[in-house]
Amino acid sequence: METKIVFITGASSGIGEGCARKFASQGWNLILNARTVSKLEKLKSELEAANGVRVYILPFDVRDRKQAAVALETLPEEWKSIDVLVNNAGLVIGVDKEFEGNLDEWDIVIDTNIKALLAMTRLVVPGMVERGRGHIINIGSIAGDAAYPGGSVYCATKAAVKALSDGLRIDLVDTPLRVTNIKPGMVETNFTVVRYRGDKQAADNFYKGIRPLTGDDIAETVYFAASAPAHIQIAEVLLMPTYQATGTISYKKKEE
């Protein structure tokens, strides 16, 4: 049986790293992208040793379209047949009101969450169409379902991920390719530290009183979608911790 290849963006931590570990444990070869080479090299060594799979690291900033194009064009021939693309790279900076936020920070968020996802899709999916197989899994968010205080720009980017996933599914309807949008609720990763501009204590406080999801939890759902039989397309999954009901409503137990 031919070993499949998964390409994961933002693979050096959080949900991306969780996905890398899950797919590797199931015998998939991996192309891992992130900006930090040292983290990717460490993960590559660990996954290859533990799972007997092959890992190809592709370090570049997904916001740099030219760099992304060169990276994918120069992939060795045996790595070009990507079976699953996990568009995971994403972030939010700050919890500012829409009329008070930093435009430069918003550029980073929009360029990463929307434009980079579009670029990766444009670069990888034509090959999938040509080969007649492939699966695009976009990491959206519960934030894409409704805006919440201090998150309007981030919520807008994840609403865009929902629309882009649905639109791509329509565009590919006459092909065997599948498109999935995974929408997590509260997940405890470095993502939240970035949201609070590096304030680890504020990030920790956000999760006090509730058991949040982990990157590994999301990875289980991503793999579930990817490993479904070929005639099943899991279009969208919304997953939250128990005690969370919507993007803004959750129950947090008070500490004794």
Residue 158 bears catalytic tag: yes
Q: Which residues pair with 137 in a beta bridge?
A: 86, 180
Q: Is 42 tagged catalytic? A: no
Q: Among candidates 17, 32, 151, 16, which has minimal Cα distance to 90?
A: 16
Catalytic residue among 44, 158, 196, 223: 158
**Cβ atoms of residues 184 and 142 within 8 Å:** yes
Distance between CA atoms of 218 and 16, rounded to whole angstroms?
A: 9
The single residue of 4, 44, 154, 196 carrying the catalytic annotation is 154
60 burial via Cβ count (<10 Å: 0-12, 13-18, 19+): middle
Both tokens assigned to 254:
């008070």
- Between CA 124 and CA 68 the distance in angstroms is 10
What is the residue type of 236?
Answer: E
Instruction: Say which residues have a Cβ less than 8 Å from residue 235's Cβ, sequence separation at least 6.
Output: 165, 166, 169, 179, 180, 181
Closest CA to 118 of 85, 92, 151: 85
Report which of 43, 42, 53, 133 is spatially closest to residue 85, judged by C-alpha positions. 133
The closest alpha carbon to 57, from 66, 49, 48, 65, belongs to 48
Residues marked as catalytic? 154, 158
